Structure 1
Amino acid sequence: MGRILAIDYGKKRVGLAVTDPLQIIATKLTTVRSHDIFDFLKAYFQKEVVEKVIIGYPLQMNNEASEAVLYINPFLRRFQKLYPDMPIEQVDERFTSKMAFQTMIDAGLKKKDRQDKGTVDAVSATIILQSYMEQQKYRP
């Protein structure tokens, strides 16, 4: 069994989270600059067994894609071209940044730490991954 990697892709930064090899726990991994993501993924895939990739896909309240798909869709196309055998699933990422911020408050992070957008992105990826894992529990 391999890990599940979650990606919260942004214009400037990419938040990453990953499960343990048994796919029980979601943990924030890191944040990388968007233009470095494919170098990071190449290195990560060489050292870890990844079974599936989950990507946060931004939807609006009416379930239509948001403007952010203008830079997420090219990422998805390139990813699928480089890794055609890697399963990838899109997960609704509405409200994950707000949830990440609240999670950081609840965890007692200082205001200065909560203002680090890289941390928010990594926590958002963790929330995306955790919600995906919760949904999988209830699928037949």
Structure 2
Amino acid sequence: MSDAPPRSIPAGRVAGVDYGRRRIGVAICDAERIICSPLCVHQTIGDREADAAFFRHLATAEQIVGFVVGLPIHSDGTDSAMSVEVERFGGWLGRITGLPIAFHDERYSSREAAGLLAGVGLTRGRKKARADAVAAQVVLQSWLESQTPNERPQALEG
């Protein structure tokens, strides 16, 4: 992982990202960080400026305060071949949006996403199309659950 100290993500909406060379799954949570939902799958076309425009628009339109990027590591906790590429992507994402980036273990997120989609009445093609966004949701939910009570916004009492 990067040696640079991470900037913490302030209170507000966070986007989860499941990076892939062809498809990037995106999920978001509400401002209170209670509910995570799959949002979309961004198809990359090799045009970094188009990708940058997509993420800048996403950050503005959804009022995102930071991104959680799933980090692919082996089951023993060591970096995978994709880890460096994902860290490079996360650095780029932070630079082009000006928002803080957190990396979070994405082990088994695709498997969990497939399990979540298994019971849904979608065709195989539609499940495949949603899988990356659901994997991003799994990563984001796991990151939210990993935050200590002092770091998570407290629910308003009514």
**TM-score category (smaller protein):** 0.7 to 0.9
Give the conservation status (yes or no) of the 8 Å contact 2:25–2:42. yes
Q: Does 1:44 align with 2:49?
A: no
Distance 1:111 1:7 in 2: 22
TM-score by length of 1: 0.85
Q: Does 1:13 align with 2:23?
A: yes
Give the conservation status (yes or no) of the 8 Å contact 2:68–2:104. yes
Name 1:131's counterpart in structure 2: 142
C-alpha deviations, 1:49-107, integer Å up to 9, x for none? 212210000000221111112431321232233244x2211110011111111110133
Give the conservation status (yes or no) of the 8 Å contact 1:57–1:92. yes
Q: Which structure 2 segments of 5+ residues have no match?
A: 1-10, 152-158
Structure 2 counterpart SS, 1:73: helix
Name 2:107's counterpart in structure 1: 94
Could you tell me how far 1:2 is from its partner in structure 2?
2.3
Alignment match of 1:56 (pick from 42, 47, 70) = 70
Query: Kindly tell me: are residues 22 and 138 of structure 1, through their superposed partners in 2, closer, same or farther at Cα, counting changes over 3 Å?
Result: closer
| Aligned-CA RMSD value | 2.0
Name 2:40's counterpart in structure 1: 30
Which one is further off, 104-113 or 93-102? 104-113
Where does structure 1 differ by over 6 angstroms across 4 or more consecutive aligned residues?
A: none
C-alpha deviations, 1:27-52, integer Å up to 9, x for none? 01100023443221111222232122
Alignment match of 1:109 (pick from 108, 122, 134) = 122
How many residues are paired up?
137
Give the conservation status (yes or no) of the 8 Å contact 2:70–2:103. yes
Could you tell me how far 1:7 is from its partner in structure 2?
0.5
Q: Please tell me whether Structure 1 or Structure 2 has the larger radius of gyration of its CA atoms.
A: 2
Q: Which structure 1 segments of 5+ residues have no match?
A: none
Query: Kindly tell me: are residues 53 and 98 of structure 1, through their superposed partners in 2, closer, same or farther at Cα, counting changes over 3 Å?
Result: same
Q: Which amino acid aligns with 2:17?
A: I
Query: Kindly tell me: are residues 111 and 29 of structure 1, through their superposed partners in 2, closer, same or farther at Cα, counting changes over 3 Å?
Result: same
